[in-house]
Amino acid sequence: MRIDFKWFALACRNAMRNRRRSLVTLAIAATGTAAALLGGGFALYTYQALAQASARDTGHLVLAAPGQFDGNDNMPLEHGLAGREQLTRELLANPRVTRVLPRLQFSGLISNGDKSEIFLGTGVDARQEFLVKGPFMTVEEGTLLDAEGRSSAPSGSGIVLGKGLAHILNVHPGSSLTLMSTTTSGSLNAIDVTVTGVVSSGIADIDKRLAMVELSTAQQLLASDKVSYLSVYLDELEDSDAMAAMFKTQYAGKLEVRTWLEQALFYQSVKGLYNRIFGFLGVIVLVIVLFAISNTLSMAVLERTREIGTLRAMGTTQGEIIRLFTLEGLVLGGGGALLGMALAGGIALALLVLGIQMPPPPGRTGGYPLVVEVSPAMYAAAALAVTLLAALASLLVSRKAANQPVVEALAHV
């Protein structure tokens, strides 16, 4: 153990012989490591935020009648789910299930008397629906259907509109509207509703068509007691796959089960794009670190050629020469990685304190906080990668130094 420490101490002293060059190398390694960690932390936070948004929107699991996910309905609720009350009780009996929310998807025309627009509506359990939306739905005006457990409109006749649709129809809380849609039998039906609130989902295209009503109102409009599907919410997002497998076995042939990830096409697209972008950034960082450390050690070998020859003449083996230079590379790589981790952690903390907002991304109406996730696993992986790469660069350089003939090394000028 003392011998290993002696070699390590010698490597540290050798690494700092030319302090300016070593400090520049440390700075390059630290900057590259910090850049990779900040980029990866931003991507990780984005993944987590999108995953939560997708899971809150669809539920961790979605249970529907066979054929519902095919999208081939000729009539409304052709593949609708019946008997939701009994199924809900069965699902809630599982201790890992926290909520089971029915949802009824429908579409039609909404009119203020002077103007009509196409809407995409959802019938919901108003007492619970807006609780699970959380920060991913903002109230712009009025109140939600579940404000204090009551609707501000007469029972069953309230409606919440997207910000864009409310603007098109020029309506506000208290305005009366008429919904028109096709029933399950193919006839046209209409119902009067009162606007209770205006909300924003953060996506302009969705807000232009968004309409949400109490489930009973939607069922009355479509003349059916069915729902489109049940959204199941769990204690933990990570339980989704295991619970989906269990429900698929339990309801085989009776229900189709999808996880939130199978429904989250936007999440999958963004994750695929970010993986490529930040993966490419990581490769660039590693290449920069490789060249920086290789250059530093190559200069050290050139300057210390006669010293290497002297060590060899005194009986130092080729393996010991390689060990010495490899340890020098580890010192530079490990030191740069530690400095980079500290720099990335400090910037991540500063962003939390400052609360900097990013501009709205394409297709969205609101910005979002610039947050960088600090993941111990990612930091450890980055430090290990940079350190091992430094060791590899050192090994390649030191092999050339160790294989020099002793006479040539001693005669080097």
Domain end point (choices 214, 234, 254)? 234
Q: 119 and 198 share a domain?
A: yes
Question: Per the structure, how many domains does the chain have?
Answer: 2
Same domain, 41 and 123: no
Q: Where are the beta strands (DSSP E) in 271-410?
A: 357-358, 368-369
224 assigned to some structural domain: yes
**Do 229 and 183 reside in the same domain of the chain?**
yes
Beta carbons within 8 Å of 118's beta carbon, 6+ residues apart: 107, 108, 109, 110, 209
- Are residues 203 and 296 located together in one domain of the fold? no
In a domain, 123, yes or no: yes
Three-class DSSP category at 111: strand
Query: How far is Cα 85 from Cα 311, in angstroms, rounded to an integer?
Result: 84
Euclidean distance between CA atoms 323 and 316, whole angstroms:
11
Question: Are 196 and 282 contained in the same domain?
Answer: no
Single out the residue in 211, 234, 257 at which a domain terminates: 234
Give the pLDDT score at 411: 67
pTM beyond cutoff 0.85: no
Same domain as 133, residue 16: no
Dihedral (CA of 324, 326, 329, 333) sign = negative
- Domain for residue 80, yes or no? no
Q: Determine the pLDDT at residue 280.
A: 87
Dihedral sign, Cα of residue 217, residue 221, residue 224, residue 229 = negative
**One domain, residues 227 and 136:** yes
Note the pLDDT tens digit of each residue in 156-180: 488 999 999 999 999 999 999 999 9
Claim to verify: residue 122 and residue 220 sit in the same structural domain: yes
Residues 157 and 214 in one domain: yes
pLDDT at residue 151, rounded to an integer? 44
> Quick one: 115 and 221 in the same domain?
yes
The answer as to whether 333 is a domain residue is yes
75 within a domain of the structure (yes/no): no
Q: Please give the single-letter amino acid code of residue 146.
A: D
Alpha-carbon distance of 161 to 176, in angstroms, equals: 12
Residues 228 and 105 occupy one common structural domain: yes
Helix (H, G, I), strand (E, B) or coil at 228: coil
Nearest alpha-carbon partner for 213 in 155, 132, 163, 263: 155
Domain boundary (210, 234, 258) is at 234
93, part of any domain: no
Please list the ranges in the chain whose pLDDT falls under 70.
1-4, 146-156, 362-363, 409, 411-413
Residue-by-residue DSSP string for 339-359? HHHHHHHHHHHHHHHHTPEEP
Residue position matching structure tokens 């990013």: 358
Residue 253 resides in a domain? no
Q: What is the pLDDT of residue 186?
A: 85
DSSP E strand boundaries for 154-297:
158-162, 176-182, 188-200, 210-214, 229-234, 256-259
Q: Do the domain assignments include residue 86?
A: no
55 by Cβ neighbours in 10 Å (0-12 / 13-18 / 19+) ranks as: buried
Residue 324 three-state SS: helix
Residues ≥6 apart with Cβ < 8 Å to 18: 299, 300, 303
Return the pLDDT at 4: 63
- Quote the radius of gyration of the chain (alpha carbons, Å): 32
Which ranges constitute the DSSP H helices of 98-147? 126-133
Tokens describing residue 144: 């939600």
Residues 199 and 308 in one domain: no
Range(s) of the domain holding residue 43: 2-53+267-411
